């Protein structure tokens, strides 16, 4: 009995794997788009950097060198240290903070985007497939939440939950973006819920939950992947932005936004420390946008 079951599992796993392979091949088509490749390169640059940063020969991003406050690019420290991009107002190495900051921003952006996607996606699936009162209620909730300007939402959620912390940031991002994800998923599901294969599954007597997750969700993944890339860009901006406003991840974590806010108080002296994180976030978001553009371009072709 158990042998049979494992065999059955192995069989059902195989098409699963090949499906992932097909998806991967589709994404790999992006090399046919020049814009998409530029985006891939930029995203890969930051992704690789933030993975390997613990192994890089960098300064400690939190270490303050009182000797070396606000040094310009390519400065030598007292003890022979070399600050490639200079130091900030507390004598911390800008390059180290930049690269560690990328890791922090990417990590929290991905995490909060995924949480928002799970919440918004589940709401959209339920509303789009079950319709009826579920749809009415959830759509109204989404409309109410979408009526808040996002910044107001961030300020309210985070100050109400008790200030800057990682968990509160995830809450704020979820509140602000899950309704938009809900709308997209709901629309896509409404489009395919009357297809024959859905009807076949209903006739087979499958559980609604299974229909939603196995029949419906995989068939709307194309547009959702593009949307996820774009949304990861927005969320990256949000994480840095909340840091800039002082309601994101608490200092002294090297968040790009916090770095800009810290340096801004020092006028002329802070310009160097301000410019680098601004360039960093711009290149990362540009990369994500171009990547999404490229994906859309190649997926529209077939």
Partner 1 sequence: MLKLFLRRLLSIVLIGLVISFVLFLIFESDKLDVAGKVLGAYSTQEQRLIWLERNGYNEPFLLRYADWLGNFVVGDWGKSLQYDIPVRPYLLAQLKNTAILGGLVFSLTLLFSLVLGVISGVFEGRAIDRSVSIFAVLTTSVPEFASATLLAAVFVFWLGVLPGTSTFQNGFSWKEVVLPVAVLVIYNFGYYTRMTRASMAEVMTSQYVRTAILKGMRFRRVVLNHALRNALIAPFTVMVLQLNYLLSGVIVVEVFFAYKGFGKMLYDAALFGDLYILEAATMISVAIAVFSQFVSDVGYALLNPRIRFG
Binding residues for partner 1, rule: CB under 8 A, are: 140, 143-144, 146-152, 155-156, 159-160, 233, 237, 240-241, 244-247, 257, 260, 264, 267-268, 271, 274-275, 277-279, 281-282, 285-286, 289-290, 293
Q: Looking at beta carbons only, is 190 or 245 nearer to partner 1?
A: 245
294 class by beta-carbon count within 10 Å (0-12 exposed, 13-18 middle, 19+ buried): buried
**Shortest separation between residue 158's beta carbon and partner 1, angstroms:** 8
Distance (Å, whole) CA 206 – CA 220? 19
Closest contact distance (angstroms) between CB of 165 and partner 1 is 15
First vs last Cα of the chain: how many Å apart? 44
Q: Measured from the CB atom, is 80 or 267 closer to partner 1?
A: 267
149: left (phi over 0), alpha (psi -120 to 50) or beta: beta
Smallest separation (angstroms) from partner 1 to the CB of 213:
31
Question: Residue 198 or 247: which CB sits closer to partner 1?
Answer: 247
**Minimum CB distance to partner 1, residue 99 (Å):** 17
Minimum distance of partner 1 from residue 258's CB (angstroms)? 11
Cα–Cα distances in angstroms (integers) from residue 13 to residues 7, 74, 204, 213, 220, in the given order: 10, 54, 21, 16, 21
**Between 101 and 212, whose beta carbon lies closer to partner 1?**
101
Give per-residue burial for 140-172: e unless 16+ CB within 10 Å, then b: eebeebeebebeebbbebbeeeeebebebbbbb
**Cβ nearer to partner 1, comparing 18 with 159:** 159
Residue 223 vs 246, nearer CB to partner 1: 246
For residues 52 and 144, give the distance between their C-alpha atoms in angstroms, rounded to a whole number.
Answer: 42
Beta carbon of residue 193, minimum distance to partner 1 (angstroms, whole number): 25
- Within 8 A by CB and 6+ apart from 291, the residues are 30, 36, 39, 40, 42, 43, 229
What's the full length of the chain, in residues?
A: 302
At which residue do the structure tokens 């939440």 appear? Answer: 145
Tell me whether residue 9 or residue 264 sits nearer to partner 1 (CB atom): 264
Phi, psi of 146 (to 5 degrees): -75, -15
Q: How far is the CB of 207 from partner 1 (least distance, A)?
A: 33
Classify 165 as helix, strand or coil: coil
Encoded tokens for 276: 């680098």
């Amino acid at each position: 009995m158990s042998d049979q079951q494992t065999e059955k599992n192995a069989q059902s796993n195989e098409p699963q794997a090949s499906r992932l392979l097909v998806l991967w091949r589709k994404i790999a088509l992006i090399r046919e788009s020049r814009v998409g490749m530029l985006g891939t390169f930029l995203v890969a640059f930051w992704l690789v950097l933030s993975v390997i940063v613990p192994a890089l020969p960098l300064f400690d991003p939190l270490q303050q060198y009182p000797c070396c406050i606000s040094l310009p690019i390519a400065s030598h420290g007292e003890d022979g240290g070399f600050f490639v991009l200079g130091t900030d107002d507390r004598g911390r190495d800008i390059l180290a903070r930049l690269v560690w900051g990328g890791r922090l921003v990417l990590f929290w952006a991905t995490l909060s985007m995924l949480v928002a996607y799970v919440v918004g996606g589940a709401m959209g699936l339920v509303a789009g497939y079950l319709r009826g009162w579920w749809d009415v209620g959830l759509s109204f909730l989404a409309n109410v939440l979408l009526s808040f300007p996002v910044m107001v939402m961030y300020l309210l959620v985070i100050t109400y939950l008790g200030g800057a912390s990682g968990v509160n940031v995830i809450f704020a991002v979820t509140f602000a973006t899950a309704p938009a994800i809900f709308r997209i998923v709901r629309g896509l599901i409404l489009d395919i819920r009357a297809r024959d294969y859905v009807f076949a599954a209903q006739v087979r007597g499958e559980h609604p939950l299974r229909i939603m997750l196995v029949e419906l969700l995989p068939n709307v993944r194309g547009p959702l992947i593009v949307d996820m890339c774009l949304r990861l860009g927005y969320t990256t901006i949000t994480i840095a932005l909340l840091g800039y406003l002082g309601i994101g991840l608490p200092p002294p974590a090297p968040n790009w936004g916090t770095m800009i806010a810290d340096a801004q108080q020092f006028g002329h002296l802070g310009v160097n420390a301000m410019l680098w994180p601004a360039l960093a976030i711009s290149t990362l978001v540009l990369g994500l946008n171009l990547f999404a553009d490229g994906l859309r371009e190649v997926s529209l072709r077939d």
